[in-house]
């Protein structure tokens, strides 16, 4: 664990409202009760410390979390705290993702929500945190095409206003709802406007036709991809498309096991793709909901798949190739990793790069 904590890391799949730490949650709940909220929420309804839950139960948890984060102050605090927590965990670059949300009761519009999130990012940037933060806007599968187009417009607008902090579009939300193919025109429009695409695909079984079409885009990265390969109900054709485009996979071990889409850690699709040398990025998904951290995910990967410290370093180093930010940022990050490797492994450095 000590090594995993000290390892510089890249986080590419972190939903803001799923990443709220226990401490932040407690503070938000306390504030709510002080303000006289009549529907007290217990902290355990927002996190799975032990055991597991169905995806249905997990998506019900997000509804509870959204009640707590229903105003701009909360959005600012959550984002600010998450960035500090990732920085403390030695994450040097993070792409947070979030669904623009309006709550008329509190006066929060989608624009005000995004401005609070971006202000938290900008304020953290002024501090000496040693972490680069970018933002991806999420399209919830529950929404319709108009909302998806609106999200793309917001991403384009805030990409400009924030000087490139907003860099991409995500598709997420309850994977059993609606059809991702409906959003393909919105994804194409986003791409034409210079936004990258990080799409949840094959997170549940029996979505081969949908996945097949979306893979033709192709996306810039895939979230989960749990059911792509034939051994678990996917197809050779899906695997071939992912391999052909070398589309990186964002893999979240604890999330998939606690969310019951994968039976046990050693059944995780990480093994299938990692063993064939396909680009894999270890991520947290929802570090608050799943009570994890990126260091814990690296430790889990190392223990489950017997990965040495040097290979773990390689895994984290190669994640730099798959960030959505510029080549300049990649060069800055690679330099940091090289310094870590020089200090940690001393000998055989050349073999590692």
Catalytic residue (choose from 95, 115, 203, 250): 203
Binding flag, residue 95, ligand 6MZ (CB under 6 A): no
User: Looking at 21, 71, 98, 162, which residue binds ligand 6MZ (CB under 6 A)?
Assistant: 98
Single out the segment in contact with ligand 6MZ by CB under 6 A; choices: 15-23, 26-34, 40-48, 328-336.
15-23
Q: How far apart are CA 334 and CA 321, in angstroms?
A: 9
**Contact yes or no for 132/325 (Cβ under 8 A):** yes
Rank residues 16 and 120 by Cβ distance to ligand 6MZ and give the closer one: 16
Rank residues 173 and 225 by Cβ distance to ligand 6MZ and give the closer one: 173
Q: Residues near 26 by Cβ (< 8 Å), separated by ≥ 6? A: 43
Q: How many residues bind ligand 6MZ (CB under 6 A)?
A: 19
Binding to ligand 6MZ in span 41-60, by CB under 6 A: 58
Euclidean distance between the first and final Cα of the chain, in Å? 23
**Contact yes or no for 198/231 (Cβ under 8 A):** no
The alpha-carbon radius of gyration of the chain (Å, integer) is: 19
Per DSSP, helices labelled H in the chain are 2-6, 22-34, 55-68, 72-88, 110-126, 145-161, 184-192, 208-215, 236-244, 253-258, 269-275, 294-305, 309-318, 327-345, 349-352
Binding to ligand 6MZ in span 156-175, by CB under 6 A: 172-173, 175
Binding flag, residue 211, ligand 6MZ (CB under 6 A): no
Single out the segment in contact with ligand 6MZ by CB under 6 A; choices: 11-19, 183-191, 205-213, 298-306.
11-19
Binding flag, residue 242, ligand 6MZ (CB under 6 A): no
Q: What are phi and psi of 97, to 5 degrees?
A: -130, 145
Single out the segment in contact with ligand 6MZ by CB under 6 A; choices: 13-21, 23-31, 265-273, 316-324.
13-21
Residue 15 bridge partners (DSSP): 97
Binding flag, residue 284, ligand 6MZ (CB under 6 A): no
**Contact yes or no for 13/73 (Cβ under 8 A):** no
Binding site for ligand 6MZ (CB under 6 A): 15-18, 58, 62, 98-99, 138, 140, 172-173, 175, 200, 203, 255, 259, 285-286
């Amino acid at each position: 664990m000590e090594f995993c904590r000290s390892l510089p890391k890249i986080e590419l799949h972190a939903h803001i409202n799923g990443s709220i730490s226990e401490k932040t949650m407690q503070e938000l709940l306390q504030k709510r009760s002080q303000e006289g909220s009549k529907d007290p929420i217990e902290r355990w309804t927002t996190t799975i410390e032990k055991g597991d839950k169905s995806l249905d139960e997990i998506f019900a948890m997000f509804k509870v979390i959204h009640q707590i984060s229903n105003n701009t102050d909360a959005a600012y605090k959550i984002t600010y705290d998450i960035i500090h927590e990732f920085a403390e965990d030695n994450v040097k670059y993070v792409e947070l993702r979030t669904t623009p949300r309006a709550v008329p009761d509190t006066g929060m519009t989608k624009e005000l929500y995004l401005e609070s999130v971006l202000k938290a990012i900008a304020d953290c940037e002024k501090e000496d945190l040693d972490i680069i933060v970018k933002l991806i806007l999420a399209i919830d599968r529950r929404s319709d095409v108009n909302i998806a187009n609106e999200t793309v417009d917001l991403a384009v607008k805030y990409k400009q206003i924030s000087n490139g902090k907003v860099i991409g579009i995500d598709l997420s939300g309850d994977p059993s709802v609606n059809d991702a193919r409906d959003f393909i025109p919105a994804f194409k429009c986003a791409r034409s406007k210079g936004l990258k695409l990080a799409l949840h695909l094959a997170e549940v079984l029996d979505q081969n036709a949908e996945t097949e079409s979306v893979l033709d885009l192709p996306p810039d990265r895939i979230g989960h991809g749990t059911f792509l390969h034939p051994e678990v109900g996917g197809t050779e054709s899906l695997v071939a498309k992912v391999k052909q485009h070398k589309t990186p996979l964002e893999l979240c071990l604890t999330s998939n096991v606690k969310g019951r889409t994968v039976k046990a850690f050693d059944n995780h699709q990480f093994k299938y793709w990692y063993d064939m040398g396909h680009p894999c990025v270890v991520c947290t998904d929802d570090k608050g909901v799943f009570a994890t951290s990126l260091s814990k995910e690296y430790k889990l990967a190392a223990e489950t798949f017997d990965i040495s410290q040097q290979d773990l370093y390689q895994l984290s180093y190669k994640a730099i190739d798959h960030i959505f930010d510029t080549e300049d940022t990649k060069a800055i990050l690679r330099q940091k990793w090289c310094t870590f490797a020089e200090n940690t492994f001393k000998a055989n450095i050349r073999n590692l790069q």
